[in-house]
Structures are given as C-alpha cells and as structure tokens.
Amino acid sequence: MGMLTAEARPALTTLSEDERMFQEAVRDFARAEIEPRVQQMDSEQKMPAELIGQLFELGLMGIEIPEELGGTGADFFTSVLIVEELSRVDPSVGVLVDVQNTLVINAFNRWGTDDQRARYFPRLATDTVGAYALSEAGSGSDAFALKCRATQSDGGWILEGQKLWITNGDEAGIYIVFANADPDAGYRGITAFLVERDAPGFSVGKKEDKLGIRASSTTEIVLDGVRVPDTDVLGAVGRGYKVAIETLNEGRIGIGAQMVGLAQGALDHTLRYVQEREQFGQPIAEFQGIQFQLAEMATEIEAGRLMVYNAARLKDAGEPFLTPAAMAKLYASQMAQRVASVCIDLHGGYGFTREYPVEKYYRDSKIGTIYEGTTNMQLHTIAKQLLRAD
C-alpha cells in the first residue's frame, strides 16, 4: 500500500497519479466485493464480519495511522476518496470507514499521547473497529448537555450513563466516550475517555431499526460503573469539548464525501437504466427532458465533490477549513437527497420498488442532513463565521 503516500500536493481539482490509482482500486473492490452483498446487508441490517475483515486487509481502516504502527500512513484527503468510492456502492460501508478514519483515528492523531497511539493504533489498523460516543437522549445538536458522568476514583475514573445514536456501536471494540467530570463547570467539565468493549460495566444496548444505512449499526451504549484509568483520558481533563468540536469539524467533510458518493452511485444506475428503458419506440435517454435532468444532476454532484475536496485539501494543508467543511456538508447532504429523488423519478414505477437499487440510495440520503451536525447547525456555523469576518 505504499502508493498511498502523497508526495507533491496536486492542484485542488485534480488527483495525483497515486490518488487516482488508489481510487480505482477501491472502486473495483467495492463493485466486486460489496455490491453483491448490498441488498442482503440492507435487509438483514448487518455488515458481514468477513467484509469488515477485507476492509482491514486492504488498509482502509487505518489511513492516517503511521506505517510503523500498522497503518497506511496517508493523508486525510485519501480517507475522503475512500469514503466517496465505498458510498458510491453502499453508504453503510462508507460511514463505517468514515467514522473509523475521520473521527476516531483523527481524534487520536490530534489529542492522543504517544503511549495511547502506540497501544491503540496497531489494533485500529488491523482488526478493531472504533466508535465515537458523544450523543445522548437529550444531547444532540446541543452536544454538550451531557448527563453521562465521570467521577474520579483511585487513579482513574468511574463512568455512569447512557449514549445513543452510536455509529459502529455493534462492531466496535474501542469507544471514545464523552462524559462530564465536573458538572458545575458546564461544558468545561466534559472529558473524553477511551473505553474497551470488554470493560466491566460496559454493554451495547438497543440497536436502532433505521430508515436508511441499515447495514451500519446505530446503537445505545450503557456505562454502569465503568472504570477507566487516567492513562486512557484522551486529551486533558475538561478539554473534551475541544476534542469533540475539532474532530466533528473534520468528520463533516467525511459525511460530505459519503453524500457525494451516494449521489454518484444513484446517477450511475440511472444512466444505465435510461439507455435501456424504451418508450415511444426509443430509449428514454433520447428525450431532451431526460437529458437535461441528467445534466443538472451531474453538475450538482461535481459541485459537491469539489466543495468536499477543497475542504479536505485545506485540512491537510493546515489552513482554516471550518466554513468550507460546513458548506461542503450542507450542500452535499441536500444535493444527495435531490439527486436520489430525481433518480427514482427517472426509473418510474420501478424506482419505487426494491427491485432496483435507487430506492435504497434515496433512503440512505436522508441521514446526511441529520448526523454530524444537522442542516440548521451548518447554517448557524456558516452565518456565524460570515458575521465574525465582517
């Protein structure tokens, strides 16, 4: 996997030869190994363990982990390319890889100690899925209204509470759990902890029965007196709010990539269908009304792709990317819903059935405007930055 290491930074709108080769390799893998399983995974609401194993074997679960710790040693932009290509076939697989790389591994890279990275990176790169446990029943967009508590005890901490909406909750072996160690300090008491799945008192609770991305697990987790040593505090005590904010700012770019890939996948299927489906003695692709809709969708997808790529390049270059990330996530999530809806229209009655794949893309697209910051939260972030700049 040495071809993943980026050297010279290419122009914004282009891919380097290594990036393009890797993109094509992931695309081929997705079509050969994931596409035949999509319907079954969606129906059973389960991702096969062997498929997750293949993701690890290909190095897709440890993109920004250094090679000496078992990872690929590539950059954030490479993670974005992977998420886009996987989501083109199945957004459920895309988000599993996205959370692993853009949330969990990024949090370790930014906030982890050398000891924490040495202990956890080899596992995250080779066989262990990670999850990011921030949300609670009363803590969604108001992310820091946490009820989960951390109490100091004998060189460590005792965690009590529940977390909801945890992506990868069913598959994960390592969880980044946010709890308040000093409720009187408000959000400044929030602290991030590294919790093992087999820790006494830890359990995975209810698995949500969702509209879309059904093969991606979304679960409750329960913390009943879970003990965490001081060595497994991620970042400083009371700095969990910064861990959360900065990690989610990066994660939104990954969700933008998921939505771009989803929209492209829906369009791919539709392009094939309109050239096969005949009405009035000719393929419906010959009608100008159909052609215009195809052209509009392709243009919207390309606009979303460039916004996502721009935000990812800025992140890798160490430049400010808060507003570009929010814009990319906002636009891509709304665009994906529009494109998936039109693709159903162009399939006619077949688009409304499970016989054709576009209905799944439509169901999957809805989550894009909800998780890792709702549409309204993205609008708030963009407007706040605009007014501050003025």
Cα–Cα distance, 122 to 150 (Å, whole number): 27
Strand blocks (E) in 197-315? 202-207, 218-229, 233-234, 278-279, 282-283
Cα–Cα distance, 45 to 360 (Å, whole number): 13
Helix, strand, coil % in the chain, rounded to nearest 5: 60, 15, 25
Which of 64, 84, 300, 372 is an active site residue?
372
Cα–Cα distance, 34 to 27 (Å, whole number): 10
Closest to 249 measured CA to CA, from 121, 90, 372, 115: 372
Can you tell me which residue has the tokens 């990868």?
Answer: 168
Is residue 64 part of the annotated active site? The answer reads: no
Closest to 307 measured CA to CA, from 84, 100, 137: 84
**DSSP structure class, residue 208:** P
* Backbone dihedral region for residue 223 (phi beyond 0: left; psi -120 to 50: alpha; all else: beta): beta
Cα–Cα distance, 237 to 235 (Å, whole number): 7
| Residues identified as active-site | 372
